[in-house]
Structure 1
Amino acid sequence: MKKEECFYLGKIVSKFSFKGEVLIKLDTDEPESYVKMESVFIDYNNNLVPFFIEKSKLHKSDLLRVKFEDIDSEEDADDLMKAEIYLPLSLLPKLEGDQFYYHEVIGFTIVDKTFGTVGIIKAINDSTAQALFEIDREGIEILIPMNDEFIDKIDREAKQVIVNTPEGLIDLYL
């Protein structure tokens, strides 16, 4: 399994018991959706390695307490500290309408209702307070906030994101 075929689910943040249990900080709005997983991929020495889950339950609402098969001691668990957890993209629920996953719109064309074709989405920058579409327009980078008020429509068939940005926003970059 390659990282490109997976989505980031969370990170192992601490040990929980002397029996090798760990706590995973989930990167999701719906942690309860991931309680019944049978296995996950752990980024271990830059390889995605499958780990099977013996048991898991939510701990303090956004942490998942997990007992992996064959991880039976604190020493075993030490080896997994700070490791990232992934699941195959095929396990993501399909989104409808104007909801989308960030990875899903990479490569889509951004079309502004007033300006016209802006360019191709090359990345999503979610490290700022407001997530941004990073758009390539013939070598020029254009940033458009991923604001619900700006996003008019997601057209999956045409691979387009239709936006309605404030007047002058796109011109700032040109």
Structure 2
Amino acid sequence: MMEWYNVGRIVNTHGVRGEARILSTTDFEDERFYVGNRLAAFKKDDKKPTWVTIASVRRHKNFILLTFEGMDNMNDIIPFKEGLLKITKDQMEDDVLEENEYYFHEIIGCQVISEDNDSIGEIVDILQTGANDVWVVKGKEKEYYIPYIEDIVKDIQVDNKTIIIHVMEGLL
């Protein structure tokens, strides 16, 4: 079975010439979003991909605007609204992660535990703030926002999906 990894969310169309407004979910934007690259576009709630080839790329505010070969009209993009752009595991193998860098899919789903072994919750999302990533942790009663910084994150064990954090005053 093929393993898929999200690289972007298709949030909307942009203009009438078939541009798709993409919210990036990858740390490797240059390796994902370039003219000629093939991505799998999944319509919302669809399990089968439509392979698309990027025809143009430009930035607009917090979004990346893409056009795809053969789709030069807004109506070609509308069915993909709220869908996802994904790549296969094979397409990821060229990425080079630095030490202490992880893929989103490795972090999402991890259990967060304090140094005192208290369960805090599960990471359900990652917010990119520019300065540092912020992990959204769903606890029993509320959500916590944990910045991915050295002072707080003490140990990441992706193999057993566990992250140990130092709970600073005011964090939780």
Give the TM-score normalised by structure 2.
0.63
Distance 1:98 1:168 in 2: 25
Distance 1:108 1:10 in 2: 22
Distance 1:99 1:14 in 2: 32
Tell me whether 1:118 sits opposite 2:115 in the alignment: no
Q: How does 1:20-169 map to 2 (within 5 A)?
A: 21-28=18-25, 31-33=29-31, 34-36=33-35, 38-44=37-43, 46-47=45-46, 48-53=48-53, 55-60=55-60, 62-69=63-70, 71-77=71-77, 79-80=78-79, 82-88=81-87, 90=89, 91-92=91-92, 93=95, 95-113=97-115, 115=116, 117-119=117-119, 121-125=121-125, 131-135=135-139, 140-141=140-141, 143-147=143-147, 148=149, 149-166=151-168
Deviations 1:33-81 (A, max 9, x none): 3114532232326214223216223254743331333x3545434x436
Identity %: 16
- Unaligned segments of structure 2, at least 5 residues: none
Give the TM-score normalised by structure 1.
0.63
- Paired residues in the alignment total 157
CA contact (8 A) 1:98 1:153 kept: no
Distance 1:120 1:94 in 2: 31
CA contact (8 A) 2:137 2:145 kept: yes
Distance 1:102 1:41 in 2: 18
Deviations 1:4-27 (A, max 9, x none): 83315131432442xxx3233232
- Unaligned segments of structure 1, at least 5 residues: none
Instruction: Say which one has the larger Rg.
Output: 1
**AA in 2 matched with 1:66:** T
When the two chains are superposed, the root-mean-square deviation of aligned CA atoms in Å is 3.8
Distance 2:7 2:44 in 1: 16
Distance 2:170 2:72 in 1: 60
